[in-house]
Structure 1
């Protein structure tokens, strides 16, 4: 998902953009109405002068050029001065429209002309007003109006718009700061929630929506805390309840061994094999219980490191789990080399046992390749295409997912690099038991 930036920045940008759009729009609209108002005032004044002049003519048609109240009036456009006629593209023909022209001429000060065509009872009249900027501001004291008053008024209007925009920005920043304080307080409170603060009442954050969100956060964390407390209680009880039968089993196996030695009984190879398997199972259960209890705790010392022969450990795990391949057309290729690694034996035994069990259970026809080089172990199970679908259908029935989760948690907790890759015809796992100075295995698996 594309990152959109902070919520505060988005609100500030949106509010400021909308405010500036409104300010600029209304400023342009005001400037347009201001100019149109000035034009209407000029037209109305010129029309009054023309009507008064027409009444004085008493129905006669004006042919010459006359000046009335500072305006030039004539019934004929050709009677206007040549400078006036050259300032316009043609004869003003549309009644009630203000025509504007400019004569730059040889003078340093241009002359601005305003003309209109005004129909009267005695005929049409052309009214022209000439505006020449004064040479210096001091002439305004002599009664000559400054020609830049309209421009100054327009600039004042635009300046007022800019001031309103700045004021809007300041108000928006203040509003965002006022609104964001409760949100920041909610975030600070949520980050500091722990078992002790969950027992305290929820603070009031000023807005119903924030209070509802705080209640949801507190409720979710309270549920998670209650679940964790139940899990810890279960682990504490399970620790005692599991250790007791495991201890009884191991002690009875030891008594059985001493009884056999004391009475000088000779067991058959099958009996010795069964007895050895029971001893390994008891030891495995003891180590598994201790490892799971350690894994469930956030803190605590890791199981002690021992000097382990990794090749012998792999061979022992394969021998113990070979019963899973009965009645299956599966070939096992075990390729190991001598390597002693200092590591926690129980977690390593659990990891290897889970990975090998997974390969044996989910391969119905094909081969399983187990390769060990130094501290690195790689397991590939190559299923035939005809059995790949069947293995996928039974994957959810064997409980194998829990074994992989436990393997991932153990390797992550102990810092062992672990990879789990799957394709249409098999599975590949790779784990490195963090040995120093051991050459890592190549990416290409055995085939």
Structure 2
């Protein structure tokens, strides 16, 4: 599976570093070779001797190795591998990667490489959930960095939750996926994402709480499987991922036009939270109070149904996936929506205020299709995206 593939493995400083030894063994069992880089903190958990013995290769630790650096060794290391893997990727390593720092061998390699990078995050649950870590991870994903895990479970510190490094077998599977051509190679997928802003006047608008995180994650996951992705996004909080064709829009009318222009496609994933209504009599000047106590009268017009337009159109993609954000009777309402719109699948979720789903880092969805429903447990939006992308790839085979 990995025959002839060269993996540059950076081992960060966390208790999960012990799993890196098994990871090296599995990579080599699959026919790959491992060039290990051990950070100073990583060496507190595993020894250069054990790492080198399993890899049967020199362990690189210091940036200022006089022999290696005479030949610009850090550049050669960063370019000679087929894939760079960081496992465990600690909160500190992720922060330095996101900030573009290059103050040791590991961070310098990561900044100098022209190869894809896969990280396996591992840290305490509170560190994983900290806004700084979430920002750093979002920035890295936007730069095209691949991720695997983390898993949820008991921590070495005694706490429970997400933050455990993915198991070595899962990391090997992610490595294989990153190195293959991808099951969606040659496929074109349209993904819509984020909210739309419907103007009231030049200053104010009607919008919703969508951050665009789920749509961006889906676009990245499809990209990672080899698809050519057209990413039509409203004014989202989360930046679009790298490696996709981005079409930025503001309103539902603009989004509808952009989707039409992007057709034909093999699949369409309509994850955007499109406003149902727009202000038909939007003012060209800022609306102000006049002291009368009377509020301006807003007249509303129905926005185009982009999902139905795609699902029922002459240039319908082979697979059309809609989203249903509901607050009551989630499955029943979403099932009705799937039939009414004419799409193949609906991804339904409960966006009631107590769930924290809209604008949050996690999602809990039900996949609804003609044959029935499939309930997925609550998980990170990136994992929801990965699962959905794999299902799309299977459907398009």
TM-score relative to the length of structure 1: 0.18
Larger proportion of strand: 2
- Larger radius of gyration between Structure 1 and Structure 2: 1
TM-score relative to the length of structure 2: 0.19
Larger proportion of helix: 1
Ranked by relative contact order (alpha carbons within 8 Å, sequence separation 6 or more), the top structure is: 2
